[in-house]
Amino acid sequence: MLTLNLESLWSEFLDFVKTKQSIVEYTNWLAPIRILKSSEKGLVLGVPNIFVQEYLLENYSKELANFFPPDNSGNLPLFFIIEEVEEPKQEIVEEAQQPVIERDSVFELRLNRNYTFEDFIEGPSNQFVKSAAIGVAMRPGKTYNPLFIHGGVGLGKTHLLHSIGHFIHQNNKKLKIQCITTEGFINDLVEHLKSKSIDQMKRFYRSLDVLLVDDIQFLQGRQNFEEEFSQTFEALINQGKQIVITSDKPPSQLRLSERLTARMEWGLVANIGVPDLETRVAIVQHKADKKGLKIPNSIAFFIAEHVFSNVRQLEGAINRLGAYCRMCGMDITQEVVEKTLSEMLQFVPKKRITVESILKSVASMFNVRVNDLKSTSRTKEIAFPRQVAMYLAKELINDSLVKLASSFGGKTHSTLIHSWTKIKKQMENDEKLRRQITMTKQNLEI
């Protein structure tokens, strides 16, 4: 009874693991394990090598303990015997390859579901690369091969790579797509080397229709892996299979063999740049919409203006803003943005400068009263600082001159221009005035 139970528990455990693992990983690591014996003491499992046993125990210790409760000393009722099995592996490989083709799950491909062409906002900095990516996705292997996308961090390389994967998958479920980071490829290789199943891996990669490789820069300085990658690369390209590669640098700047560099330049090398302000505004709006956040245009503009190095930061800013507003139940206003994103804004937002704040600052600098500055007094002690205030208003406030002038007790715009010209000229020779104005400005901007 108990022994039967253990066997069925093992198959339940495998069913469970299948739902959590990629089919490739499952095939490589779990499928080769066989039940050799089931007794009251536990299950005796046959593994092809120690790595499989270690993999199982390291990666599934918690789950195993749930399925097979440990004894009082914490030992699982599982025992391992390393079997020398060469032949069955072949069968496993054949079996394994079928389901990969037939599996109709995008998640098997490990694509981020948000990274689609529809969600990739276009602008002058990425139009070219996006259309190249769409071209490749529409006719894999038939346009640019390989497509090499390079650009700085957080600019959408991975997003485009996954978009290609989604698009191809949606249009042709039969095509075998593998989307992998370079680190993932290296890890895969290490694992297959350990388990002496490198041929299996080679066969798998060489049977692909589309290989999407992210962050090839991680292949630099890893010659053994580079060699293996080059071979896979050539095998696929020679069969007309599509390859797309992303990198933080163009091929010529990568420390890779000349041969691989030249291969990577065979197709199309496309750069993805930092999006301009308008594109950033569109990205902010798009990301906010997707999150159900309402961001007024002026605020989207403010965020895009102050977070400009890359899109990932921009997205981080929106996420943060969204979380804050939801938590505090507040609307998104300029004040909320400045408060929530203060460390993210790429230059400290200047205090809003108004005529009122200029008058205050000038009044204290020249030791007069604000009301005097606003009055019609023409005495020199008042008129001069008033002219300085007008000069500063024109310099620092982006508003119509008529409106600015009227804030100085109903002056005309020609008075404002006259004052500005006079002060500007005087500053050329008046060191003291220059200092006073610089200090007034500093006080205003703190």
Type of residue numbered 369: R
Would you count residue 121 as binding ligand ADP (CB under 6 A)? yes
Nearer to ligand ADP, 119 or 265 (CB): 119
Q: Does 163 bind Mg ion (CB under 5 A)?
A: no
CB of 157 to Mg ion, least distance (A): 5
Shortest distance in whole angstroms from residue 403 CB to Mg ion:
48
Binding-site partner at residue 265 among Mg ion, ligand ADP, none, CB < 5 to 8 Å by type: none
CB 167 within 8 A of CB 137: yes
For residue 158, state whether it binds Mg ion (rule: CB under 5 A).
yes
**CB distance 49 to 85 below 8 Å:** no
* Contact pattern from residue 296 through residue 335 relative to ligand ADP, giving x for each residue in contact according to CB under 6 A and a dash for the rest: ---------------xx--x--------------------
Q: Between 57 and 96, how does the x/- string for binding to ligand ADP read (CB under 6 A)?
A: ----------------------------------------
* Identity of the residue, 158 or 419, whose beta carbon is nearer to Mg ion in the bound complex: 158
Rounded to whole angstroms, how far apart are CA atoms 277 and 272? 15
Q: Is 147 in the site for ligand ADP (CB under 6 A)?
A: no
Torsion-angle region of 42 (φ positive above 0: left; ψ -120 to 50: alpha; else: beta): left
- Which two tokens mark 325? 């507003």
Which range touches ligand ADP (CB under 6 A), out of 18-26, 71-79, 155-163, 408-416? Answer: 155-163
Cα distance between residue 341 and residue 336, in whole Å: 8
Q: Does 148 bind ligand ADP (CB under 6 A)?
A: no
Q: Which of residues 231-290 bind ligand ADP (CB under 6 A)?
A: 283
Binding site for Mg ion (CB under 5 A): 157-158
Binding site for ligand ADP (CB under 6 A): 115, 119-121, 126, 151, 153-159, 283, 311-312, 315
